[in-house]
Structure 1
Amino acid sequence: MQTNKIDFLKTYLSLYIDHTTVLAGMQEPDSAYVILDVRNAPAAIKKDQIKGAIAIPAKDLSQHLSALDQSKTYVVYDWTAGTTLGKVALLTLLSAGFNAFELSCALEGWKGMHLPIETL
């Protein structure tokens, strides 16, 4: 039984990437990371996003896959880690063969750590 729990947790945690890794990668020339803001809300409601993120709502992501670079690693985020849009977007990307993760701290955690954001 413990082995099943451990295997499940390893799989679950492999879906996420932490802010430290993303920040370090973003600072490299020709970064491998592309951050996607997958919140399904207009800019007037969002008000801000992670600096350099590309806004593609989770509900529209499947229609934009052909415009994405398969050689990049996509990091998706939603409002909080407990919401499902990031997971829906991650499933869409992984199912289409992309290398992708969900940001472990979501936007709420990113802003809480005072990491770079930009106003919309």
Structure 2
Amino acid sequence: METTKIDFLKTYLSLYIDHQTVMADAQQANPQYVILDVRNAPAKIKKDQIEGAIAMPAKDLANRLSELDQHKTYVVYDWTAGTTLGKVALLTLLSADFKAYELSCALEGWKGMHLPIESL
């Protein structure tokens, strides 16, 4: 039974990427990661986003896959780690054969670490 739990946790954790990895990649000349803000709210409600993120609401993602580069790796985020939009977006991307992760701790964690954001 413990092996089953361990395997499940390994799989679960493999779906996430940490802030430091994303930040380090952003400093590269040709970043591997593209950050997608998948929150389904208008800009006036969002007010800010991770610096350089592309707004692509989870509800629209399946219809906008043709806009994405199959050679990049996508990092999706939602408001908080406890919400499901990031997971829905991740499922959409992975099901369409994109490389993708969900940002660990979502926007809330990013802001809590005082990492770069931009006003909308």
Gaps of 5+ in 1: none
Instruction: Provide the residue aligned with 2:58 in structure 1.
Output: 58
Q: State the Cα RMSD in Å.
A: 0.3
In 2, Cα distance between equivalents of 1:43 and 1:19: 23
Query: What is the CA distance between 1:104 and its match in structure 2?
Result: 0.4
Counterpart for residue 11 of structure 1:
11
Aligned-pair identity (%): 81
Matched residue pairs, number?
A: 120
1:28 Cα offset (Å): 0.3
User: What is the CA–CA distance in structure 2 between the aligned matches of 1:21 and 1:32, rounded to whole Å?
Assistant: 11
How much does 1:105 deviate?
Answer: 1.6
Does 2:108 correspond to 1:108? yes
SS of residue in 1 equivalent to 2:111: helix
Q: Secondary structure at the match of 1:39?
A: coil
- Match of 1:88, SS? helix
Q: Which runs of 5+ in 2 are unaligned?
A: none
Normalization by structure 2: what TM-score? 0.99
Is 1:24 aligned with 2:4? no
1:32 CA drift (Å): 0.7
SS of the aligned residue for 2:45 comes to helix
Tell me, yes or no, if structure 1 residue 44 matches structure 2 residue 57. no
The aligned amino acid for 2:112 is G
- Distance in 2 between the 1:105 and 1:82 partners? 8
After TM superposition, the score normalised by the length of structure 1 is: 0.99
> How far has the Cα of 1:67 moved from its partner?
1.0
Q: Tell me the distance in 2 between the aligned counterparts of 1:28 and 1:43.
A: 28
Match of residue 74 from structure 1: 74
Shift of 1:89: 0.1
Report the Cα offset of residue 7 of structure 1.
0.2
Structure 1 moving runs of 4+ over 3 Å: none
